[in-house]
Amino acid sequence: MIAASAIDYRELARRRLPHFLFEYIDGGSYAQVTLERNVADLKNVALRQRVLRDVSEIDLSTRLFDQDLALPVALAPVGLAGMNARRGECQAVRAANNAGIPFTLSTVSACDIEEVSAASSAPFWFQLYMIRDRGFMRELMARAASAGCTALVFTVDMPVPGSRYRDYHSGLAGAPGIVGALRRTWQGALRPHWAWDVGIKGRPHSLGNVATVLGDKSGIEDFFAWMRKNFDPSVTWDDLDFIRSEWKGTMIIKGVLDPEDAIRAAELGADGVVVSNHGGRQLDGVLSSAQALPKIAEVAGDRLTVLADGGIQSGLDVVRMLALGAKGVLLGRAWAYALGARGEAGISHLLQLIEAEMKVAMSLTGVTSIDQITRVILAERNCG
């Protein structure tokens, strides 16, 4: 099977990854209402088809946070991505570099900041959670700055982990000790390409950025136990002062769904926000990103650069998000599937597909540059 769209990579990843890893990427929380809503609501955004306009030259370039980009797209932070392909985050950052877009490294990546920096030919972004140990957070931010990261993506919608039942059913989080290890080993053995490429040749299997605090306890169960113990549910807006004082570069707040929170982020010195519900992986039943985005973009005005993620499966979806008010989008599951299916080549191909799909969508809506993609290209639906 050759992937002809981003959706095809999901099926390819399902065939190539061990069950517990595919479920980790693919799953949401509780009944997955928000996960499904993210996709459905975005698909339901209708565009105005315009004709007889000169669309012979389409320009997809844009500028975000003083950085020139070939596309209004960044690769979102994806935890454990380095387990989907050999040294996966390094493959992903190379694909992003080649495409002229930013890559965002997760705090809980397999490859640490320094390894990704060595593999990268351009600055990348770093994602951070609020962790109880402020000294460890300070160390991570210093490492990211030393590695040349230009933006800190501070995730605020995970004071506690969501209830992701598919992770329990798959054996990722619900089968501790030797039973869980045996289940995951068996699932890995059923995927011989993965077992050789990642399981054997992709070592060390550790969460590089948090390896110093995990110590010898570096298994998946140890990570989830550390996360439950060390993510800080007492965090408030006042804690942004700590982040802002330690981080001198661009600060982007990820996980905003309410306009009042966007206003607060602007007041406290954030440069941007990501309208996001964590891909439907946290509080189930909340608004989709597509639903929440327009009001947040309206209140943000010129004070914040508004990005969005959630449910984006094509270049057409990127155009829809921009029309709803985003200045750029973050791809999450889409690139994780592509990485699991074909590694760096898969991500590069995915981005080529998105670029081609964006050009078609822009041509058929009669716009030729990213700044022309506004609410003007949204269709008005008749009611009644």
Active site residues: 278
Q: How many CB atoms lie within 10 A of CB 344?
A: 20
Within 13 Å and on the Cβ side, how many CA atoms surround 195?
10
- The string of DSSP letters for 313-334 reads -SHHHHHHHHHTT-SEEEE-HH
Which residue is it, tokens 């327009």? 294
3-state class percentages of the chain: helix first, strand second, coil last, to nearest 5: 50, 10, 40
Tokens for 319?
Answer: 């155009």
CB 77 within 8 A of CB 127: yes
Give strand pairing partners of 126. 105, 152
Distance, in Å, from the CA atom of 375 to the CA atom of 325, rounded to the nearest integer, reads 7
Distance, in Å, from the CA atom of 74 to the CA atom of 340, rounded to the nearest integer, reads 18
Distance, in Å, from the CA atom of 174 to the CA atom of 179, rounded to the nearest integer, reads 10
Burial 261-285 (b: 16+ CB within 10 A, else e): bbbbbbebebbbbbbbbbbbbbebe
- What are the φ/ψ torsions at residue 164 (nearest 5 degrees)? -105, 90
